[in-house]
A and B are shown apart, each in its own frame.
Chain A
Amino acid sequence: MTAWGFGLIGTWLIFLATRRVYRIAQSALLNPMVTSVAALSAILLFFHLPYSSWSTGAHWYTAMLGPATVAFAVPLYKHFATLKRHALEMSAALLAGSITAILSTIALARGLHLSNLMVDSLAPRSVTTPIAMAVSNRVGGSPDLTAIFVILTGVIGTLIGPKLVRLLRLKHGVAIGTLLGMGAHGIGTARAFEFSDLIGTISSLTMIIAGFVASIAIPIAVFLFNISPK
């Protein structure tokens, strides 16, 4: 009962507190994803609270990922005309980004001699969690591991993304939005909405289309890499 309550209420309060700190401190390293996950992990380990009992309450938030994905339809609808104007930039960047994501992940994982299970769980890591977990399951990876890789990708991407925007001297909102949505999916999209409503929407649309592309391309890529001689 207490674990359930902590999973549901405590998780939310910790999230609100860390987000508050992030907004006041304005430091990328204090991204609420990093600080709240660190705080919750520390609490679970310190009080010997098993993950399984904490998640009886907390899994309700995971269940909300479905409705949250559906909710993207609203900004998509509101900014549809702008998105149509940027269709060319977005398609070109999406194609380049998707190919880079899939090939570099599989090639690096193979180069470092990771097990097949690890390679297959890493391959879908560049897209949003619900899609990545479904793809991981299809190609024989572990969806749980994939979820962690996806979130690590989002956190790392959100930390380096705004720095790359400055490094590449990106002037166009469409470039900032696609960079964050392609590289850091949902977590990057939350960051993109801090730039502007439009950049956030471009980021979310990029993330969604990248998910569609990945759900088709990754099974093919994994298959090709597996039959190629090592």
Chain B
Amino acid sequence: MTPVKKILRTSFQIILIWAFSLIGSWLSKRFSLPIPGSLIGMALLFIALKKNWLPVRFVDAGSSFLLGQLLLFFIPSAVGIVNEGALIRQDGWQMLLIIGVSTLLVMLMTGFVAERVARSKAVRT
């Protein structure tokens, strides 16, 4: 496949994935659901793939591209920190402490429980 064809194919697939996201957002707003539209869109695409309404090769390249750039999509919100100078001076260390300690506890708990259950399952089988 030529590079141009590859770019065109990936772009088209991204637009297709975007359409699922838009439909999800519309449904979320229309029925004032507590679930964000993107999650509804994901569920719809998953169902479409599972039911073979949409072959996976129609979205594979677009999905890989989007997931490969995932971190980029968080950057604008993160740079929003430049607007919060006053808050950081006031509550900065408390925020970092809370996030650090809580994240540490969450990860220890999650990893420990998953490993324990996985090991006991391995013993049983």
Residues of A within 8 A of B (CB): 11-12, 15, 19, 32-33, 36-37, 40-41, 44-45, 51, 54-55, 58-59, 61-62, 64-78, 80, 86, 88-90, 92-94, 96-97, 100-101, 104-105, 108-109, 112, 114, 118, 122, 125-126, 129-131, 134, 138, 144-145, 147-154, 156-157, 160-161, 164-165, 168, 170-172, 174-176, 178-180, 182-184, 186-187, 189-190, 193, 206, 208, 211-212, 215-216
Q: List 6 A-B contacts (CB under 8 A).
A: A61-B76, A68-B69, A69-B41, A70-B20, A100-B109, A211-B36
Are B38 and A126 in touch, CB under 8 angstroms?
A: no
Contact of A174 among B21, B38, B103, B118 (CB under 8 A): B118
- Collect the chain A residues with CB atoms within 8 Å of residue B111's CB: 93, 164-165, 168, 170, 175-176, 178-179
B2 at the interface (CB under 8 A from A): no
- Collect the chain A residues with CB atoms within 8 Å of residue B113's CB: 89, 92-93, 96-97
A61/B72 contact (C-beta < 8 A), A33-B78, A67-B17 known? yes
A179/B38 contact (C-beta < 8 A), A41-B79, A114-B94 known? no
Which 10 A-B pairs give the minimum distances between C-beta atoms? A179-B111, A97-B110, A69-B38, A183-B107, A93-B114, A74-B63, A73-B45, A147-B77, A175-B114, A175-B115
Contact with A along B60-97 (1 / 0, CB 8 A): 10111011011111111111111110010001001111
- Collect the chain B residues with CB atoms within 8 Å of residue A186's CB: 70-71, 74
Give the interface SS of chain A, mostly helix, strand, loop or mixed: helix
Are A170 and B82 in touch, CB under 8 angstroms?
A: no
- Collect the chain B residues with CB atoms within 8 Å of residue A125's CB: 99
Are B114 and A101 in touch, CB under 8 angstroms?
A: no
- Collect the chain B residues with CB atoms within 8 Å of residue A189's CB: 70
Are A62 and B91 in touch, CB under 8 angstroms?
A: no
Q: Which of B62, B78, B117, B121 has the most chain A CB within a 10 Å cutoff?
A: B78
B50 at the interface (CB under 8 A from A): yes
Residues of B within 8 A of A (CB): 14, 17-18, 20-22, 24-25, 34-39, 41-43, 45-46, 49-50, 56, 59-60, 62-64, 66-67, 69-84, 87, 91, 94-115, 117-119, 121
Are A58 and B75 in touch, CB under 8 angstroms?
A: yes
Contacts A172-B114, A216-B34 given; 12 further ones with Cβ under 8 A?
A62-B73, A66-B41, A68-B67, A73-B20, A93-B109, A93-B113, A114-B94, A114-B98, A129-B74, A144-B83, A164-B108, A170-B111
Are A126 and B106 in touch, CB under 8 angstroms?
A: yes
Are A130 and B118 in touch, CB under 8 angstroms?
A: no
